[in-house]
């Protein structure tokens, strides 16, 4: 709440300024927030996108990046986005499901076998369905989702090789009913913790493990507080680029088109960057001391089915949404 007041006050008082090379003062000084450090491909490509937006609008649309949860933890910033204290926000669809329940469809355990299936689904009917739900909740969302990646489990204590290794295991999960349900189905003890507090939670032993894509393990330097990395690929996760509806409307159509174009192009470049990074990340993380192991996903998926995970979520999402998911992945869950 404090952030919102400060943001509004700062916006009202801020004097227009002219950057070198800009034809005129910024008409719109907007913020974009996310949870990733500046060196993550998301922020590398966002930096390029906002530069292109400033250039193509002759400086009228000036967007500043607030990385690494500088404006607050994800669930707080979602509130700020809705209130208008921040204009743009990149957020996992699965965390967004705290506001838009059906946006976590893509996070159903082991739904996606590979990236080809992910991009066909998210650029196709599944992504369109999630965006329709997001817009119905009063938010703006860009067409192209950014990549977070396939999620893997790390621990400080032991490699996770089978579902039995997760029994009673204290693991951090992001704040979302789907995540809690997934790890409860494995018999683990999931703790909902925002990403902003993950490193400290691992360091102080509040939890013994966490799960994230390799690129996040890298930029968050998780080898400092974790040892084993199990390639479970239990979920694919991305970042929707969300906007506040009033701030978006204020831009007007011409600026909207420019902003959307560069954000969406940024997403496509970011996907390629994460893909390229994935090729070297295992060796890189092993070099930092992580001990990798691969797992057969089948017993993990079987365990979820036995625990009633798929039945529960089919009921929760409803038949229409579930069918869109199953069509997108080309099999029954």
List contacts with ligand X2X (CB under 6 A): 35, 92, 95, 148, 174, 195, 212, 216, 237
CB of residue 41 to ligand X2X, shortest distance in Å? 13
CB of residue 95 to ligand X2X, shortest distance in Å? 6
CB-based closest residue to ligand X2X? 195
Question: Which helix (H) or strand (E) covers residue 96, if one does?
Answer: helix 93-96
* Gap between the Cα atoms of 310 and 301, Å rounded: 10
57 vs 194 by CB, closer to ligand X2X: 194
35 vs 103 by CB, closer to ligand X2X: 35
CB of residue 44 to ligand X2X, shortest distance in Å? 16
Which 3 state secondary structure label does DSSP give 171?
A: strand
CA angle 146, 148, 152 (to 5 degrees): 160
* Gap between the Cα atoms of 42 and 35, Å rounded: 10
* Gap between the Cα atoms of 91 and 145, Å rounded: 10
Q: Which of 224, 175, 228 is nearest to 204 (CA)?
A: 224
CB of residue 29 to ligand X2X, shortest distance in Å? 26
Q: Write out the two tokens for 245.
A: 């509806």
148 vs 244 by CB, closer to ligand X2X: 148
Give the dihedral sign, CA 105/108/111/114. positive
* Gap between the Cα atoms of 306 and 2, Å rounded: 45
CB of residue 26 to ligand X2X, shortest distance in Å? 29
Alpha helices in 240-296 (DSSP H): 245-287
CB of residue 21 to ligand X2X, shortest distance in Å? 34
CB of residue 17 to ligand X2X, shortest distance in Å? 32
96 vs 258 by CB, closer to ligand X2X: 96
Question: Which helix (H) or strand (E) covers residue 66, if one does?
Answer: strand 61-66
61 vs 214 by CB, closer to ligand X2X: 214
φ and ψ at 22, to 5 degrees? Answer: -90, 140
In which region does residue 233 sit, left (phi positive, over 0), alpha (psi from -120 to 50) or beta (all else)? Answer: left
103 vs 212 by CB, closer to ligand X2X: 212
């Amino acid at each position: 709440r404090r952030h919102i007041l400060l943001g509004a006050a700062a916006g009202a008082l801020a004097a227009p300024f002219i950057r070198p090379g800009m034809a005129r003062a910024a008409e719109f000084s907007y913020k974009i927030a996310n949870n990733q450090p500046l060196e993550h491909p998301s922020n590398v490509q966002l930096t390029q996108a906002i530069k292109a937006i400033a250039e193509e609008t002759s400086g009228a649309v000036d967007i500043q990046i607030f990385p690494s949860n500088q404006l607050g933890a994800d669930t707080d910033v979602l509130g700020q986005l809705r209130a208008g204290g921040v204009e743009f926000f990149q957020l996992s669809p699965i965390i967004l499901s705290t506001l838009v329940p059906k946006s976590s469809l893509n996070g159903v355990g082991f739904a996606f076998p590979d990236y080809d299936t992910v991009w066909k689904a998210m650029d196709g009917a599944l992504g369109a369905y999630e965006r329709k739900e997001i817009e119905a909740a009063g938010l703006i969302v860009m067409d192209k989702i950014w990549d977070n990646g396939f999620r893997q489990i790390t621990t400080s204590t032991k490699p996770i090789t089978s579902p039995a290794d997760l029994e009673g295991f204290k693991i951090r999960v992001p704040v979302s009913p789907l995540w809690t349900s997934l790890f409860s189905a494995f018999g683990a003890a999931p703790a909902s913790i925002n990403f902003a507090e993950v490193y400290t939670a691992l360091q102080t032993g509040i939890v013994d493990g966490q799960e994230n894509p390799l690129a996040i393990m890298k930029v968050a330097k998780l080898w400092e507080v974790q040892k084993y990395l199990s390639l479970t690929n239990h979920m694919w996760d991305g970042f929707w680029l969300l906007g506040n509806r009033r701030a978006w409307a204020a831009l007007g159509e011409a600026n909207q088109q420019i902003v959307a174009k560069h954000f969406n192009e940024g997403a496509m470049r970011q996907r390629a960057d994460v893909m390229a990074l994935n090729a070297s990340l295992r060796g890189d993380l092993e070099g930092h001391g992580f001990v990798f192991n691969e797992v057969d996903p089948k017993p993990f998926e079987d365990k979820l089915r036995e625990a009633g995970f798929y039945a529960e979520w089919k009921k929760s999402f409803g038949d229409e949404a579930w069918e869109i998911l199953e069509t997108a992945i080309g099999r029954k869950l």
